[in-house]
Structure 1
Amino acid sequence: MKTQKLTFKHYLIIGSMLFGMFFGAGNLIFPIHLGQLAGAHWLRAGGGFLLTGTLLPLLGIIAISVTRSSGIYDLARPIGKRYATLFMVLTCATLGPLFATPRTATTPFQIGIASHVSATQEPWFLLAYSLLFFGITYWASRKPTGILDMIGKLLNPAFLILLALIFGLAFSQPLGSARGQAITPAYQGHAFLNGFLQGYNTMDALAALLFGIAVVTAIRGLGQTAPTAIAKTAAKASLMSITLEAAIYLGLIWIGATSLAHFKLSADGGIAFAQIANAFMGMPGEIILAIMATLTCLTTAVGLTTSFSEALHAKFPRISYRSWNRLSCGASFLIANIGLDQIIAWSTPMLMFLYPLAITLIVLAIASPLFQHDPIVYRWTTALTLIPAIFDALGAAPAIITRQGWVQALLSLDVQYLPLAKLGLDWALPALIGLLIGLAWHALRQISRAREYRMNRN
């Protein structure tokens, strides 16, 4: 099978496309807020954040490449067709019109506009802003083949120029020293683990499983046809994208920590970033930040909408790509007008449920050649991860759910019997036990088959 040899420029364009799709609303505001929460422990917290914010997305792309999956459904299929369908739908809904895509409009609005209008005017301004935002998103995502030019060649350079301006000022005229800043109680003893959990909010590990479709489509459009060549290209381009993202994350976390020298701990990273931009450049700084946030969130919205529509069209082909695209943009517009706080509040339990399942799936997919892709290993690991993941989701739910008596009883059992439950990592030990059981089962079956083979030969 013939395949086109790609140049460094091609890798750079694909990596730029991936960066544009990954780096969105949460990627700006959560690192800043993490830096303020961690204070002097910003580097430890940053290390945990990089695991879930950069390493896991890279491994997600590699998992799709290693297994030669065409998307998230194929990746999860060894666990079972019904599970794969459910996991794909939940992931697509989370990254699509339920949480992530609406957040791409509400976050830049909250950063750049909300503080400059009255409370009575805010809903109307949000309505107009989100209508324009998702109108552009729909126009840009009508044809998935156009995503490479739109994101990689146009919007990304504009965003990086604006971000470089903010970083240049922050490093040349720092607001203070990060070393001596206050540390919130949660980050005094568990800065790394809390940073790890904060990385969930980027949703990038889930996005990596969904964006694999767009990556493969773009690579094929550049002339790559052989599956092995596509896998290698995706891995190389992803590494370039994730490396840049990691550097930006650490810079944002450091800036957040140094900002404590001038500002109190903010309610969220959007407020903190606006304060920092104003401290450096006054009103022009806020304008630059608003433009930067809009650009980066727009690129992510286009990537999410395209991948959402392609994934569901591939699974449910009777519904056209255009129909899924309209659904994504229309529903995202409606949910965006609920407001950023409500979107974040209800997305957290879903992320606490999906992330353990995504992490174990990524690890299993990469390691699958070692156990011949045996479904029994997938199933045992996922089965024992599922229950604590449900507990984590209940524990992170809004008060209207956590106050229920039956929920309190379940959470009490969770803390009592599962290690690391208080830290939101109660799934780790059951997942490991499930993996060991699955591997032992696989080994026993291999031994049994070997014996049968020898007996038949004799």
Structure 2
Amino acid sequence: MQTQKLSFKHYLIIGSMLFGMFFGAGNLIFPIHLGQLAGAHWLTAGVGFLLTGTLLPLLGIIAISVTRSSGIYELARPIGKRYATIFMVLTCATLGPLFATPRTATTPFQIGIASHVSASQAPLFLLIYSLIFFAITYWASRKPTKIIDTIGKLLNPAFLILLAIIFGIAFTHPLGSAHATATTAAYQSDAFLNGFLQGYNTMDALAALLFGIAVVTTIRSLGQHDANDIAKTAAKSSLLSITLEAAIYLGLIWLGATSLTHFKISTDGGIAFSQIANAFMGVPGAIILAIMATLTCLTTSVGLASSFSEALHAKFPKISYLAWNRLACGASFLIANIGLDAIIAWSTPMLMFLYPLAITLIILSIASPLFQKDPIVYRWTTALTLIPAAFDALGAAPAVITRQGWAQWLLAFDAKYLPMAKLGMDWVVPALIGLMIGLSWYAIRRFILGRQLKGDQA
């Protein structure tokens, strides 16, 4: 089938769609909060944050392009069909109705509306706001082919204009000097690693694996059908969106650090952002912030609901796309009403478990041509990543779990025997060991097979 050459305008449209999908709730609040925690070390922490917040999602899109996978299930299938199904369902649930999608409604409510209503009124206002929010999400995500128009051409420009207003005032009239602010204890010596782990909260690496479906569908709708052309277009377009996202992240982290001159460290970046906007522009600033947060989170909500429905409909075709979409929007509406703090608290353990598995999967996928996508390399690496990832999830669980005797024993074992356990990076060494075992096994089998072929030819 003949493939169409795309113009730079097409790359911009696809890149805009990806930016709208990636940049949402966590992308606003966590960089601000990171800046407050890191203080004078904001740039070091910011570099760590960019690795998991921007580079890793870019590598995720490239991984899908390199392997020519249609989605997260196919990407993980070399490990095993059952594992691929479980990993896909957990990722879809995390990005869908369990955590990420409900957060797209609670975050803009928290930073734009909650501070202007009483505590007793907040639940009712959240109910009304989230109902309208997810009704719009359902309407916009009913037909996946409309994603590019809904996100790329309408909502993104409005969001970027509003964000530019905030940054313009902040850069010309800064609240203080970021390099002169205090640094919390955790960021005095481990700013980079803590910034790296904070990037998990964006969920963008997981989203990249899920959004691959929407990217491929959109590129094909623009007239490209050759697999190599689709891969190149996906990589170029994602690079545009990730570069813009990285610039915004650094601006938000810097903004959080400068805010310490006037404000104490807040419990989350949403409160901090609201305080900063009010300091710059008063009530008009709060209104701009509420609109900005709603727009950016709505774009992400539409992308998440569409990709969730596409992925599960492809795997379980007996259930229609619209049925999955109704489930995503309906369940997200219900869970959103438990509040932002509860959503963040319960999502962290899942992210600490899934991210190491996602990181190793992305690296293996990109490097797969070197070992001919041999399942043995995938399986050894993943097997030795699973247990420490489970330890990390347990360590990040709410206190009601970590205070249990069995949990204390397991965490003590983890800290004693696995390097970097206290930093939440205890999966790194086991994963490298698994990778080396897998590659060695692959090399030995190739060597034996080569010797057998030579013997047969002789």
Are 2:56 and 1:56 equivalent residues in the alignment? yes
SS in structure 1 opposite 2:178? coil
1:314 maps to 314
CA deviation vs aligned residue, 1:299-357 (integer Å, no higher than 9, x gap): 00000000000000000000000000000000000000011111000000000000000
Distance 1:390 1:11 in 2: 39
Deviation at 1:415? 0.3
Distance 2:264 2:394 in 1: 31
2:142 maps to 142
2:154 maps to 154
Distance 1:4 1:166 in 2: 40
Identity of aligned residues (%): 82
2:76 maps to 76
Root mean square deviation, CA, Å: 0.4
Distance 1:451 1:17 in 2: 51
2:292 maps to 292
Are 2:6 and 1:22 equivalent residues in the alignment? no
Q: Which amino acid aligns with 1:215?
A: V
CA deviation vs aligned residue, 1:113-167 (integer Å, no higher than 9, x gap): 1111111111110000000000000000000000000000000000000000000
Distance 1:219 1:173 in 2: 42
Gaps of 5+ in 1: none
1:91 maps to 91
Distance 2:314 2:276 in 1: 44
1:433 maps to 433
Q: TM-score under structure 1 normalisation?
A: 1.00
* Higher alpha-carbon deviation: 423-432 or 114-123: 114-123
SS in structure 1 opposite 2:180? coil
2:261 maps to 261
Distance 2:246 2:341 in 1: 26
Are 2:353 and 1:350 equivalent residues in the alignment? no
Q: TM-score under structure 2 normalisation?
A: 1.00
Are 2:421 and 1:415 equivalent residues in the alignment? no
The alignment of Structure 1 onto Structure 2 pairs a total of residues equal to 458
CA deviation vs aligned residue, 1:368-398 (integer Å, no higher than 9, x gap): 0000100000000000000000000000001
Q: Which amino acid aligns with 1:11?
A: Y
Q: Which amino acid aligns with 1:254?
A: W
Distance 1:408 1:179 in 2: 38
Distance 1:82 1:173 in 2: 55
Distance 1:267 1:87 in 2: 31
Q: Which amino acid aligns with 1:125?
A: F
Distance 2:431 2:2 in 1: 42
CA deviation vs aligned residue, 1:144-192 (integer Å, no higher than 9, x gap): 0000000000000000000000000000111111111000000000000
2:43 maps to 43
2:172 maps to 172
SS in structure 2 opposite 1:133? helix
Are 2:366 and 1:329 equivalent residues in the alignment? no
Deviation at 1:262? 1.0
CA deviation vs aligned residue, 1:400-433 (integer Å, no higher than 9, x gap): 1111111110100000000100000000000000
Q: Which amino acid aligns with 2:259?
A: S
Moved over 6 A (4+): none
1:373 maps to 373
